[in-house]
Amino acid sequence: MKLAVAVVLLAALVASSHASSRVDGPPFPLPIHLLRPLSGSAGHPLIGVSCESWRVGVEANNVRDWKTIPRTCEGYVGHYMLGDLYRQDSALVTAEAANYAEGLNLQGDGKDVWVFDIDETTLSNLPYYAHHGFGVELYNGTSFQAWVMTGEAPALPESLGLYKKLLSLGIKIVFLTGRAEDKRNVTAHNLKMVGYDTWEKLLLKGSNVSGSTVAYKSGMRQKLIDEGYRIVGNMGDQWSDILGEPEGDRTFKFPDPMYYLS
């Protein structure tokens, strides 16, 4: 592909960069102080950056502690979630994971496990979020739990493919979810209905558990290790699913621009 234009653009970049070192700030796209704070803000408009940059910032764990997506990004996130790119992004992650898993030297003693989160990692709540602004509305526990209780969440097709691949390699599956223990039956039924028909453990959150997701999930992973399991892989849509020792031998961040759990 020819990039003749690129050289002109590059010259402009170099020139503007050198120029900016002589004045008191970068001229493009906007001085930093004009960019609205993004983290922790609820529904604020983005100024100076696109919704695409915001989404990539979420995936790279640069944008943290947000309560809702930026108000101006409802359409963008909706189209992303329902369009081809979300599926491609999902396919890339699961292909990387499958490729990694195929290269493992497994011991074959039944102690190699893969930890999967559930919501937005193996099951999709998109039918719910499509009716609730794709994350632009503040989380509503009552309506979300009512949706969970329907047991009708579809499988994320790429994750289901990975699940089957891992099983075929002899890796056992552990589901580790922030869903509460009282959702055990509906969750197990929902998983089976859409094709996740076997697992080593389905770990839900006890009613006595408090604290952050990182503390809860890393504690549960430590318990698996203490029971003699080797966590060869760990996949979740939230950074809080995959940060915190023991993380597992390798972690995978499944895409999710709709909500943030610390």
According to CB under 8 A, which residues from 115 to 174 bind a second copy? 124, 126-127, 130, 154-158, 160-162, 164-165
Residue 100 interacting with a second copy (CB under 8 A): yes
Minimum distance of a second copy from residue 76's CB (angstroms):
8
Q: Which of residues 22-81 bind a second copy (CB under 8 A)?
A: 22, 24-33, 35, 37-39, 48-50, 52-54, 56-57, 59-64, 74-75, 78-79
User: What's the CA gap between 167 and 40, in Å, rounded?
Assistant: 39
Torsion of CA 166, 171, 172, 173, to 10 degrees: -40
Of the pair 148, 155, the CB lying nearest a second copy is at 155
Query: What string marks each residue from 70 to 89 as x (binds a second copy by CB under 8 A) or -?
Result: ----xx--xx--xxxx-xxx
Site stretch for a second copy (CB under 8 A), options 137-145, 180-188, 222-230, 245-253 = 245-253
Residue 98 interacting with a second copy (CB under 8 A): yes
**Of the residues 44, 67, 95, 202, which one makes contact with a second copy according to CB under 8 A:** 95
Total site size for a second copy, rule CB under 8 A: 83
Return the H-helix or E-strand segment holding 174: strand 172-180
**Of the residues 44, 91, 137, 172, which one makes contact with a second copy according to CB under 8 A:** 91
Give the list of residues 6+ apart from residue 167 with CB closer than 8 angstroms, or none: 173, 198
User: What's the CA gap between 168 and 200, in Å, rounded?
Assistant: 14
Q: How many CB atoms lie within 10 A of CB 55?
A: 22
Give the list of residues 6+ apart from residue 101 with CB closer than 8 angstroms, or none: 114, 165, 166, 169, 171, 232, 233
User: Which three-class secondary structure state does DSSP give residue 251?
Assistant: strand
Minimum distance of a second copy from residue 179's CB (angstroms):
19
